[in-house]
Amino acid sequence: MKCRLVLCFIVLFFAFESALAEHPLLVSVRLAETDFKNWRYGHRLHRKQLNCVQFVVVVVEELLKRELTAEERRAILISNVGRRSNLPRLINQNDKRIRGIQTALVEMNKGEIIQPSEAKPGDFIQYWNKKNGRWIGHAAIIQDIREDNGLRCAAIFGSHQSLGGVGIADFEVGLNDPNVRTYLVRFKP
**Does 13 fall in a domain?**
no
pLDDT in tens, the chain (189 residues): 443 433 344 434 444 444 545 899 999 999 999 998 998 888 888 888 899 999 999 999 999 999 999 999 999 999 988 887 888 999 999 999 999 999 999 999 999 999 999 999 999 999 999 888 889 999 999 999 999 888 999 999 999 999 999 999 999 999 999 899 999 999 998
Cβ-contact 80, 95 below 8 angstroms: no
**Does 26 fall in a domain?**
yes
**Does 138 fall in a domain?**
yes
**Does 2 fall in a domain?**
no
Name the β-bridge partners of 119. Answer: none
The arrangement of strands across the sheet holding 165-174 comes to: 111-114, 180-187, 124-131, 134-148, 151-160, 165-174
Residues 6+ apart with CB under 8 A from 81: 87, 90, 95, 97, 98
Based on the structure, what is the number of domains in the chain? 1
Instruction: Please state the pTM of the whole predicted model.
Output: 0.86
**Does 37 fall in a domain?**
yes
**Does 134 fall in a domain?**
yes
**Does 144 fall in a domain?**
yes
Give the structural domain span for 33: 21-187
Using CA atoms, how far apart are residues 16 and 132, in angstroms rounded to an integer? 47
What local confidence, expressed as pLDDT, does residue 166 receive? 94
Using CA atoms, how far apart are residues 154 and 173, in angstroms rounded to an integer? 5
**Does 145 fall in a domain?**
yes
Using CA atoms, how far apart are residues 103 and 78, in angstroms rounded to an integer? 10
